[in-house]
Amino acid sequence: MIFWGSSWPSSKIMVEYTSAEVVTFWRFFFAFLASIPLILILKIPLRLNFQIFKLLFLAALLNSVYSILFFVGLDYGSAGKGGVIVTTLTPIFAYILAYMFYNTNSQKTIKTNEILGLGFGIIAGICLLDLQNFQELFLNGFFILCAIDWAVLTLVCQRIKIHPLAINFYMTFLSILLWLPLFLWNNTMMCIFSFDSRFWLMMFMVAALSTAIGTSIYYIGISYIGATKAASFTLLVPVIALGSSYWLLAEIPSFLTLLGGSFAIFATYLINFYQYPHFIFKKKF
């Protein structure tokens, strides 16, 4: 979660050096290189069939769109606020989309905690969008689109029945191929090799630590403590994004960002992690 949260200010620092599309391509490239040793060390199987490949290609396309929205948003907007908006609203959007498109049982009712979660999610969205400031609203729109895109990507990846690290490996590789025409056409793509050590430290954080190693740690953790408990740790990401943005960029979060982020975290907890208490009644004779 530290790696994932810190990738927000690290990414913003990188787009201060060059354009969003240049950073996007090289992030995929170096993340792919960093994932190869992990695949070999952990002996992750890479077998797939054509059906899985089609889903992987769709996932890579969504991942590519997310990345360009991500870096363009960071180029103009706040890293801390972006980290809060995307990481807290994505699970809410994923729940809404899953309920709309995957719920085939028309008799299924939404639980009370899910209704409350959606209500808090709406309030969170209003706070985070900052509707009174048109410029902020426009910039935050990039992060909202990121959250929607990542929610769709999450649902697509759930249908890919191979190891999660293999999904990450193939998605990164296919994303490189999708961006390759730009690399061949844009003569500024090699400019990163003239940048200083600060840029390369940020690239290492984003490509290696966050995308490759952080993701691997997360899925290894799932095998030890279970998916639900592991997923609950993602609620730390917006907090870490705010803290690391303050430390690296001196960004001070607004009251609406803190309030909306808190509501969104609580909404995510209600929708995804809250469990009704189970009462055990012992029959007396």
- Tens of pLDDT, residue by residue over 18-29, are 999 999 999 999
Q: Reduced to 3 states, what is the DSSP secondary structure of residue 177?
A: helix
Q: Which two tokens stand for residue 205?
A: 């954080």
**Higher-scoring residue by pLDDT: 105, 15:** 15
Is 105 domain-assigned? yes
Query: Phi and psi (nearest 5°) for 138?
Result: -65, -45
pLDDT for residue 203 is more than 70 = yes
pLDDT for residue 44 is more than 70 = yes
Quote the number of domains for the chain: 1
pLDDT for residue 197 is more than 80 = yes
pLDDT for residue 30 is more than 50 = yes
Structural domain containing residue 83 = 2-273
Is 284 domain-assigned? no
DSSP code at position 132: T
Where is average pLDDT lowest: 147-161, 205-219, 226-240, 264-278? 264-278
pTM over 0.95: no
Is 279 domain-assigned? no
Is 41 domain-assigned? yes
Q: Summarize pLDDT for 120-155 with one digit per residue, the tens.
A: 888 887 787 766 666 677 778 889 999 999 999 988
Is 129 domain-assigned? yes
pLDDT value of residue 91: 85
- pLDDT band at residue 280, thresholds of 50, 70 and 90? very low
% of the chain beyond a pLDDT of 70: 90
Mean pLDDT for 255-267 is 87
Pairwise CA distance, residues 219 & 68, whole Å? 25
Q: Which two tokens stand for residue 47?
A: 């077998």
- pLDDT band at residue 275, thresholds of 50, 70 and 90? low
- pLDDT band at residue 5, thresholds of 50, 70 and 90? very high
CA distances from 88 to 29, 209, 258, 284 (A): 27, 21, 12, 47
Mean pLDDT for 109-127 is 81
Is 97 domain-assigned? yes
- pLDDT band at residue 100, thresholds of 50, 70 and 90? confident
Question: Is 4 within 8 Å of 230 (Cβ atoms)?
Answer: no
Pairwise CA distance, residues 106 & 94, whole Å? 19
**Higher-scoring residue by pLDDT: 94, 173:** 173
Pairwise CA distance, residues 280 & 237, whole Å? 36
Mean pLDDT for 152-174 is 90
pLDDT value of residue 103: 62
Q: Reduced to 3 states, what is the DSSP secondary structure of residue 149?
A: helix
Residue 209: CB atoms within 10 A of its CB come to: 18
Question: Is 259 within 8 Å of 127 (Cβ atoms)?
Answer: yes
Pairwise CA distance, residues 249 & 259, whole Å? 21
- pLDDT band at residue 174, thresholds of 50, 70 and 90? very high
pLDDT value of residue 138: 75
Is 13 domain-assigned? yes
Amino acid at position 131, single letter = L
Is 188 domain-assigned? yes
Pairwise CA distance, residues 25 & 133, whole Å? 32
Highest mean pLDDT among 55-64, 159-168, 216-225, 231-240: 55-64
How does the average pLDDT of the chain come out, rounded?
Answer: 85
